[in-house]
Chain A
Amino acid sequence: MTCLPETTERQLGLAIDLDTCVGCNACVTSCKEWNTGGHMAPLTDLVPYGGDVDGVWFNRVHTYEQDDAMGGLTVHFPRSCLHCTEPACVTVCPTGASYKRASDGIELVDEDKCIGCKLCSWACPYGAREFDVDVGVMKKCTLCVDRIYNENLPEEDRVPACVAACPTSARHFGDFADPNSAVSRLAAERGGVELMPELGYRPSNRYLRPRERAEHEITIAAPPLQAVQAEGGFLGWVDRVLSR
């Protein structure tokens, strides 16, 4: 069903902290690794060792620079499905292959129904859907549905692969429908933003922008150094009883 659920019980998603992402690509490769054996398997790679190598990925990390008053920022920016609340990627789908789950708000593709018309990828403003030319169907981030509810995994591993892999803990997973969830609170505290809100897709993922770096409390608190004023100058100051 490509009509969107009126409401979802939960709205799962990610909060991605651009203040700590170092752009290591661990989330990118672990996403690929998990998902090429998961719900959307395989994530095909064509001409893997040749010149025009091309593969299907659900998560990609860009690097940007932004001008600011302090001489600029370099920002690593992981991009994956935002699990939107009003996603046209679902409503445009003619076959019902794309759907949004009422239980947790995750957008998925039913590969067995997909005719590979690619329209959903046109409808996604964020480039979160990638077509598998070899299999002929559309693929996308599943929010690791096959991990987060997977009873065969230890409790602490029931998070998306990218979240588990992120060494800097820049990725946080949780329920945005619950204002008291850790991710909701984190997003609120850090002023997490939606991407391209003007398009009205109402993404659930939130991006936490780099903190104001010039305003670090240590920088503000540290008093400028003064030369020692002891008798005999610095050496005089040092010349005191010290025990070993």
Chain B
Amino acid sequence: MPIRGLRTKTTASIPRPSSPGSGEFREIEWDEAVGIVAERLRRIRASDPKKLAFFTGRDQSQSLTGWWATQFGTPNFAAHGGFCSVNMAAGGLYSIGGSFWEFGEPDWDHAKYFMLFGVAEDHDSNPIKIGLGKLKARGAKVVSINPCRTGYSAIADDWIGIRPGTDGLFVLALIHELIKAGKVDLDYLARYTNAHVLVIREPGAADDGLFLRDGEGRALSWDQARKVPADSRDPAIEPALVGSFTVDGRTCVPVFQLIAERYLDPAYSPDAVAERCGVRAEKIRQVAAELAYVAFQQAIELPVAWTDWAGRRHETIKGRPVAMHAMRGISAHSNGFHTCRAIHLLQVLLGTVDVPGGWRYRPPYPKPVPPPNKPAGKDGGKPMTPLAGSPLGFVTDPADLLVEADGTPVRLDKAYSWEAPFAAHGLMHTVIRNAWAADPYPIDTLMMYMANMAWNSSMNTSETIKMLTDKDENGDYKIPYIIYSDAYHSETVAFADLVLPDTTYLERHDCISLLDRPISHADGPGDAIRHPVVAPDRDVRPFQSVLIELGARLALPAFVNDDGSARHADYADYIVNHERAPGIGPLAGWRGKNGGDIGRGEPNPRQLEHYIDHGGFWHHELAPDERYYKMANRAYLDFAVRMGFVAKAGPIVFQLYSEPLQRFRLAARGHGAIVPPESERTRIEIYFDPLPFWYVPLEETASDGDGFPLHALTQRPMHMYHSWGSQNAWLRQITNQNKLFVHRAMAARLGLADDDWVWIESANGQVKGQISLVDGVNPNTVWTWNAIGKRKGAWGLGDDAGESNRGFLLNHAIADLLPADARGRRYSNSDPITGQASWFDLRVRLRKCAAAEEGFTEPRFKPVASPPNFEPSPRKLSFGATLRNKERVG
């Protein structure tokens, strides 16, 4: 396919087109463009580096971009994880030191029972499909919990059409059933989790709910053998899981006691949750029974001996063949962090994490729970000074927050503030609004990369568009300067002051690094590169290389040599020669002078050649005895230390009860040096529950449920990639109009028929689209394919294209802020713990539109004009015509 990239030199428009599409762009040469950016950034860095907000999207170079931001000295950096699935990442990393997303995988070869929560496609899409094929071929049972019966859910042996946002309840009801029936793997809990750690139960005390610790800070358990509190990590103890113990006059109970007490409560019984979840109690009991049956009566053993962290040899690897996977159906709700933790709790109670047949870590995971790095930039960044570390990390204590003394966020996106304390991935979805509102402070330049923030990756798109072009009373843009790198003519291009046209992934080097989002298998770590397979046919440059050049021009320490010259020629050079820690670089394969090392080793000048010779991939296969129980497997942990995945080979202990959460709760109760402002206390108190719990999604609580009775969701079409699937002429033939799928019975109740045009109205806004009736959806739910709707004029699509005329973008209806609370305060429409964007909390009602309104989507915006030299779209594609034998008979 010819590449439909931005066929233009760097385009700068001065001033920014006041109305996008005005075509005011002019072309400039790369040198000038990089010069403009360097000049601007130099000024910012010399005065107040946080005035540069640098946010990146769907790229795989966060380890470079994050490193660059660190060197620049701005805390205002994040990638797209905050609006994607940080709830999954954080929920997992704060619980089991690994997570769903693409950081773990079901044991497709051994699982007999597979539960899939809220997944339409996912990042790991081909492996999931291959895995499902394997499960089906072996006759394993596949259960999908999803309001929509499409794709994976369509082939599930059991489809549970749950009501959106209620999975937490459903899972806790399963836990209720399992605990009640004693179907819990107590040995597993005792060995690998903090179920036996003693929690101080002294209501009102400053350490109520914290772990009982000894003088050296070690958490203690009750050793039943010696009847004393003992180091919970001591392999020799016989820990109590239940009971109440008095130590030094203080009441303590093991974590598991708290778990049992909480979830045995009838409030979590199937009967109590059934209606809310839209799942019959009978069905919940059946699933619980099946889980117990497979985990405990169908247990498996691999005939492989292994040694645990404490040096004990096990003759076989025991497994409970229940595997689970979950993604955005869980995470994109404002209760997603707790729901995700609830799923991990279920997995752990059944003893199924990193065991044969269960869910498995992919190296470099597991990591300590949570990983030890804290977000840097507490001081907001100092002129001409790199941050002390990465701006992203894991908060475990209020002292780690990035807030001023009065609680004001340090970061533009308010990550690591009281509003989103565990915002491990930042909150990219708040950046445009906050920059526009100068809340908490105005910025100078917003630099974005590979995220279509003026369209499908923003909540409340219509208003976002306004904010991007809004001016203050002096006539200056409220967001003074926007630099954007895109490879295509996306909707966002039109809003930039300076566009840096990127190569596409076929035309540049990329690195899918273990330092970033790894592509490992559970059987061993792996990473990969992309390398140019076609030469660009237009004047574009890889953004990563431009960033490296900028780093050098700005003399950021890591990007220049001692003599001030550029340290790396380009990204390819960086991939090979950059070392994050001695011997550890972006790629783990073929390190060392001769390419003989893995993980750690000197940079190897021929490293990329090795990758190319191996199809772009490196993969290290773990020995059979290293592949399971990685959280406690000595051989694996030693390997992980050698590779630099973890600092020490100690066991990784699952935090079923999360002490960091409790620390915030205590702060909300006024304990400790750093406490939330009065106004934030209730919120922190409620949501920072150390054990998983369920609450009504925030939008639902705040808005009038009766007024907007339907849940509205999006799903990724398997054949399209967000907005730019439209650039592939084949894929857009499959889908260039998205419809809203409505349950047949619901439509009948609303007086709607197949193919009717309707207004989809939310408390935030409305959008118009066409409906299609189905039976396979939760009756209270409507849904559509994600990111099909386009703005007219963008992407080089014809003015009559389905995407911009009949397709629609649900995001116009999605609020980026919650309704005002009693104090008039409007929080971000996000998870209160992690800041994850709550896309799927959206509630709507449907209204049949007037006859004159039929046939076209709304809102409609002024068409954007194409940038200079944008190649017109072809009228015909005849790929392969030239490959045919020319001989033709007349």
Contact = CB atoms under 8 A, between A and B. Distances in A.
B877 A48 contact: yes
Interface string A6-29: 000000000000011111111011
Given A45-B733, A213-B157, A244-B239, A225 B181 contact: yes
Interface stretch (A101-109, A122-130, A229-237): A229-237
Given A29-B731, A169-B137, A225-B178, A238 B241 contact: yes
A50 B797 CA distance: 6
Contact of A217 (B139, B180, B805, B889): B139
Contacts of A240: 186
A37 B880 contact: yes
A153 B731 CA distance: 27
A24 B801 contact: no
B172 to A, nearest CB: 15
A222 B286 contact: yes
A66 B584 CA distance: 55
Interface string A52-92: 11110100000101010001111110000000000000000
Given A38-B880, A213-B158, A242 B129 contact: no
B884 A42 contact: yes
Given A225-B177, A228-B180, A51 B796 contact: no
Nearest to A35: B880
Contacts of B881: 41-42, 44
B286 A53 contact: no
Interface string A156-193: 00000000000111100000000000000000000000
B180 A225 contact: yes
Interface in B116-136: 125-126, 129-130, 132-133, 136
Contacts of A2: none
Nearest to A217: B139
B133 A218 contact: no
Given A168-B132, A222-B289, A20 B181 contact: no
B256 interface: yes
A42 B878 contact: yes
A239 B180 contact: no
A219 B730 CA distance: 41
Contacts of B150: 23, 63, 74
A152 interface: no
Contact of A241 (B133, B152, B224, B888): B224
A77 B293 CA distance: 34
B136 A242 contact: no
B157 A55 contact: no
B730 A218 contact: no
A205 B344 CA distance: 44
Contacts of B472: none
Contact of A225 (B241, B288, B775): B288
A199 interface: no
B729 A48 contact: yes
A216 B190 CA distance: 33
A139 to B, nearest CB: 12
Interface in B727-753: 729-734, 736
Interface stretch (B498-506, B547-555, B868-876): B868-876
Interface in B280-304: 285-286, 288-290, 292-294, 298
A27 to B, nearest CB: 11
A218 B155 contact: no
Contacts of A25: 718-719, 734
A44 B878 CA distance: 5
A23 to B, nearest CB: 6
B113 A218 contact: yes
Contacts of B141: 216, 218-219
Contact of B151 (A23, A210, A225): A23
A22 B880 contact: no
A218 B154 contact: no
Contacts of A235: 242-243, 257, 260
A112 interface: yes
Given A168-B129, A169-B137, A227-B180, A43 B239 contact: no
Contacts of B239: 242, 244
A113 B878 CA distance: 20
Given A19-B155, A20-B132, A234-B264, A51 B234 contact: no
Nearest to A225: B181
* Secondary structure dominating the interface of A: loop
A230 to B, nearest CB: 7
Contacts of A72: 149, 775-776
Contacts of B619: none
Contacts of B294: 218, 222
A144 B380 CA distance: 61
B293 A228 contact: no
Given A49-B801, A52-B800, A74-B154, A20 B136 contact: yes
Contacts of B535: none
A24 B150 CA distance: 10
A238 B186 contact: yes
Given A19-B136, A238-B241, A241-B224, A218 B112 contact: yes
B293 A221 contact: yes
Contact of A167 (B129, B180, B285): B129
B149 A228 contact: no
Contacts of B196: 242, 244
A24 to B, nearest CB: 4
Nearest to B240: A239
Contact of B242 (A169, A219, A239): A239
B529 interface: no
Select the residue from A24, A28, A49, A112 with max chain B CB neighbours within 10 A: A49
A240 B189 CA distance: 13
A219 B796 CA distance: 52
B880 A243 contact: no
B231 to A, nearest CB: 10
B236 A32 contact: no
Interface string B219-241: 00000110000000011111111
Contacts of A67: 775
B370 to A, nearest CB: 22
A200 to B, nearest CB: 32
B718 A23 contact: yes
Contacts of A28: 719, 734
Contacts of A49: 4, 729, 732, 796-798, 801, 873-874
Contacts of B800: 50-52
Given A25-B734, A65-B775, A235-B242, A134 B180 contact: no
A46 interface: yes
B774 interface: yes
B179 interface: yes
B151 A222 contact: no
Given A112-B888, A237-B182, A47 B293 contact: no
B876 A46 contact: yes
Contacts of A218: 112-113, 141, 290, 293-294, 298
Contacts of A222: 286, 289-290, 292-294
B154 A22 contact: yes
Contacts of B877: 42, 44-45, 48, 55
A76 to B, nearest CB: 6
A120 B124 CA distance: 42
Contacts of A22: 129, 132, 151-152, 154-155, 718
Given A49-B874, A213-B158, A225-B180, 13 more contacts: A20-B137, A23-B150, A43-B879, A51-B800, A53-B729, A55-B877, A169-B137, A223-B289, A234-B180, A234-B182, A239-B240, A244-B196, A244-B310
5 contacts: A49-B4, A112-B889, A113-B889, A218-B294, A225-B292
Q: Sorted from nearest, which 8 A-B pairs have the closest CB atoms? A: A51-B800, A48-B729, A50-B798, A167-B129, A222-B293, A37-B880, A49-B873, A228-B182
Interface of A: 19-26, 28-29, 32, 35-38, 41-55, 57, 63, 65, 67, 71-76, 112-113, 134, 167-170, 210-211, 213, 216-219, 221-228, 230, 234-235, 237-244
